[in-house]
Structure 1
Amino acid sequence: MIDARRGVLYPARMPDFHRCPPPGEAAELVEWFWIPQWDIDPGRSSRQHVVAYPALNLVVEGDAVELVGATTAASHRDLTGRGWAVGALLKPAAVAALIEDPAALRDRSRIFDAPDLRDAVVRAMGDGGEQERADAVGAFAAWLVRRVGEPSEVAREANRMAEVLMSDPEIVRAEDAAARLSISLRTLQRLAHRYVGLPPLAMIRRRRLQEAAQRIREHPDTDLATVAAELGYADHAHLTHDFRAVLGFTPTAYRAGAP
Structure 2
Amino acid sequence: MSGMRRAPRPSHGPVAIASSPWVVVLAGVVVMVVLLIVALGAYRGRSPAPDAGSPPPALPLPQVPQVPPDPSGDPTPTSAGSSAAPLVPGLSPRASGLPSSGPAVSPTPMAGPTVTATRTPTRVPAGPPAVTGRYRVVQSFDGGFIGEVLVVNASGGPRGWTVRLEFSGGRLVTAWVEGAPQGTLRQFDGGFTYASGVDVPPGGSAPLRFHLERASTTPRGCTVDGVRCSGF
TM-score (norm 1): 0.24
The structure carrying a bigger strand percent of its residues is: 2
Larger Rg: 2
- In the superposition, the TM-score normalised over structure 2's length comes to 0.26
Structure of higher RCO (CA pairs closer than 8 Å, 6+ residues apart): 1
Which structure carries more helix by proportion? 1
